[in-house]
Copies of this chain bind each other. A is one copy, B any other.
């Protein structure tokens, strides 16, 4: 791994729960040398990628990201497009919808949309990193990724987020088969309690799966009728997203689902 990758990996440790990180903590997290981490952080700070919080010594993300995110969105209005699709999907299903995309070997939330139809809803965090093994989005992506990536993900320790989380790699591999067969991933309370979610994959121009569109409903509200609506709408939205972002599904996926009327998969 090169110097730049090391420096950039530092940034990956910031999260919603870890907005400020000290030098020592960072050395522990990265496993790099303290002197190196210090130099990297100093260099990042010189360029505005991190900054030291007022009084103390801890580092946090710098202001350049506001500018660079603006420019990224100007070049590729991914988030804006995702928002439109999700808003429609939320309206159609009456539930919370979200889209997640692969960033390196992490899956994070790109955008989400709430429905005003019900008083209760599943709530989302912006830019949250979600697990592969215990979310419908994660399973949807894994099911359409190459086996090398799948084995790499499943080889790592799989967090038991809730009592309902499935953490046995063998069982998960079986689930992926189902996902490929139906075109839809489903998960109940694996990531957050009382959340029943469905997801469908989104592909890029090289026909690689790099994200998923999902609908998340409270378990209590999941009925046969709602489930039917979601299973009809999620693949439609995912395909629309794929098209909007300039990608298209691989032949294997396309022939199975896309040629059907309304793109609805067999239940």
Contacts and interface: CB of A to CB of B under 8 A. Distances in A.
Interface of A: 2-5, 7-9, 11, 14-16, 19-20, 39-40, 43-44, 46-49, 54, 60-76, 78-79, 101, 103-104, 108, 110, 126-127, 205-206, 246
A78 to B, nearest CB: 7
Contact of A4 (B40, B68, B76): B40
Contact of A66 (B3, B20, B69, B74): B69
A127 to B, nearest CB: 3
B11 A68 contact: yes
The 8 A-B pairs with the shortest beta carbon distances in the complex, nearest first, are A69-B69, A70-B127, A19-B75, A4-B43, A65-B69, A61-B72, A8-B47, A4-B7
B108 A67 contact: yes
The oligomer's copy count stands at: 2
B110 A47 contact: no
A226 to B, nearest CB: 30
Contact of A67 (B49, B67, B74, B127): B127
26 contacts: A4-B4, A4-B40, A5-B47, A7-B7, A8-B47, A8-B49, A11-B68, A14-B71, A14-B75, A19-B74, A20-B75, A47-B104, A54-B246, A60-B72, A61-B71, A63-B78, A65-B65, A65-B69, A65-B71, A66-B73, A67-B103, A67-B108, A68-B69, A68-B127, A69-B69, A70-B126
A112 B115 CA distance: 29
Contacts of A63: 72, 76, 78, 101, 103, 110
Nearest to A68: B65
Given A3-B3, A66-B110, A78-B66, A8 B71 contact: no
Nearest to A2: B43
A137 B198 CA distance: 49
Among A9, A72, A127, residue most surrounded by chain B Cβ atoms (within 10 Å): A72
A108 B39 CA distance: 27
A58 B48 CA distance: 25
B74 A16 contact: yes
Contacts of A46: 5, 104
Contacts of A66: 69, 72-73, 78-79, 110, 127
Contacts of A2: 3, 39, 43
Contacts of A75: 14, 19-20, 60-61
A16 B77 CA distance: 13
Given A54-B246, A64-B103, A103-B64, A71 B127 contact: yes
